[in-house]
Amino acid sequence: MLLIDLRSKFLSKNFFLLVLLSLSVGCSTTQPKPVDEQSNAAWEYRQGELKAIKYWRLRGRLLVSQGEDAWNLSLEWQQKDEDYQITLNGPFGAGKIKLVGNADGVILKDSDEQSFYADRPEDLLYEQTGVHMPVEGLRYWVMGMASPKQIKKPTIDGHGRLAYLEDANWKVNFKRYTQVSGMDLPRKVFIIKPEQEIDVRLVVDKWTLGAF
């Protein structure tokens, strides 16, 4: 039996997708504007700005699906340098887990305050919940950055922002951006792993930058 039941389908997958598609107010989509030298220069400048942000927090919603299974989750993510704390809640508070870790490893705490340890957050999350989510890469993607391990050159838009990238068999589409403290940060990110039929869709409701 799974430690927590994150598989509740009180909210249908189709309804959740409709909500994701409707969230457009106050945001800008990645533009098909031609990429030129100015765009590339803006990309390099943006990467430097984003790397300088050491403390951030976001609150949002996730739809994670694999085959016929789907999980609707709320997400809170706090990052301080290399330390992170990720809280995932199932529908209506039916289940809650917390991932606390850094580059040395991660601890998962369930709603019964039981703790489990692993080297990689993806492995631990899947073992305890059945949910596939690219936690290590997502740390960078949610900021609109390429991860240090990425090999393929990403696609940028005409504003010097990430539009698409491929990293460790994950295909990441940056669908929408929003302004936070004068910076464009991702608002809507769609991630797939076709060979395993994994689909992760993230909508960020609130960003907080700086110390908190």
CATH number at residue 97: 2.50.20.10
What is the C-alpha to C-alpha distance for residues 169 and 134, in angstroms, rounded to an integer? 10
Q: Is residue 7 part of a domain?
A: no
Q: Is residue 14 part of a domain?
A: no
Q: Is residue 44 part of a domain?
A: yes
pLDDT tens per residue across span 26-47: 455 655 455 567 888 889 899 8
Distances (CA, A) of 205 to 15, 128, 178, 181, 188: 18, 26, 10, 15, 9
Q: Is residue 172 part of a domain?
A: yes
The CA angle 16-154-126, to the nearest 5 degrees, is 45
Residues 6+ apart with CB under 8 A from 51: 145
pLDDT tens per residue across span 65-117: 999 999 999 999 999 999 999 999 986 455 799 999 999 999 999 988 899 99
For residue 196 the two structure tokens come to 């395993």
Domain of residue 83, residue span: 34-209
For residue 2 the two structure tokens come to 């799974």
Q: Is residue 38 part of a domain?
A: yes
Q: Is residue 106 part of a domain?
A: yes
For the chain, how many structural domains are there in total?
1
Q: Is residue 171 part of a domain?
A: yes
Q: Is residue 39 part of a domain?
A: yes
